Amino acid sequence: MEKLGINWGLLIAQMFNVIFLVWMLSRFLFNPLINLLSERTKRVEESLQEADKVREQMAAQRKENDVELAKARQEAASVMAQAQERARVQEQEIINQARAEAERIKADARANAEQELDRLAAEFKNQAASLVTETAAKVLGAELKGNHKQLIDESLSRLGRNN
């Protein structure tokens, strides 16, 4: 023992040192750090789970959005189609209206023209009667006084036929 340097005092001192170190290290180093490590493990696990959940939620949200978007697109397409349809109908209507208007204007114009013609014819008839009468009177003198009425009508009807 003496040759190997074993000294009871030193041995007991070293044993106290070891016991002191076990106490000190477990109190101030091991326990706090192991608690911290397990706490951290727990937190990391939690946050990973949280992240998974959020990711799932996001995927679901995106799917929902896609569905929603498709619906909206469809709706827009149908609205557009409707609008086009309506526009076509309206266009047709407008064209028809315009055509009818044109027809009407044409008809009016024709009616006016006919009316004018009639008026002119009537006027002419009046003037022609008097002109014929005058001309005939000039040519024949008073000869015709008795039955000139009949003559006038005759000539007028002939005129009308030529017309």
Partner 1 sequence: MRIRNAVLVALAIGAVMYFGLGLVFPREDLHISVKAEALVCIGGEMGYPGECKSGFPITNSLVTTVIVDLLLILMIVFGARNAQMVPRGFQNFVELVVGTFYDFAVGVDKKNVAKFFPFAATAFLLIILSNFIGLMPGAGSIGMCQPYAKAAAEGGEAEHHAANYYAERGWPLTCEPGELLVPFLRAPSADLNMTLALGLISVVLIQYFGLKALGWEYLVRFFNFREGPMFTVIGFIELISEVIRIVSFAFRLFGNIFAGEVVLVVLAHLFPYMLPLPFYAFEVFVAAMQAVIFSVLTLVFMSMATQAHGGHDDAEHGAAAH
Rounded Cα distance, 14 and 16, in Å: 5
User: Which of 33, 59, 107, 131 forms a contact with partner 1 (CB under 8 A)?
Assistant: 33
Determine contact, residues 148/129, Cβ cutoff 8 Å: no
* Residue 67 sits in the site that holds partner 1 (CB under 8 A): no
Determine contact, residues 101/94, Cβ cutoff 8 Å: no
CB of 8 to partner 1, least distance (A): 9
* Residue 95 sits in the site that holds partner 1 (CB under 8 A): no
Rounded Cα distance, 128 and 134, in Å: 9
* Residue 96 sits in the site that holds partner 1 (CB under 8 A): no
* Residue 77 sits in the site that holds partner 1 (CB under 8 A): no
Provide the residue count of the chain.
Answer: 163
Determine contact, residues 156/121, Cβ cutoff 8 Å: no
* Nearest to partner 1 of 20, 109 (CB atom): 20
* Residue 39 sits in the site that holds partner 1 (CB under 8 A): yes
Which residues of the chain form contacts with partner 1 (CB under 8 A)? 3-7, 9-15, 17-22, 24-26, 28-30, 32-34, 36-37, 39-40, 43
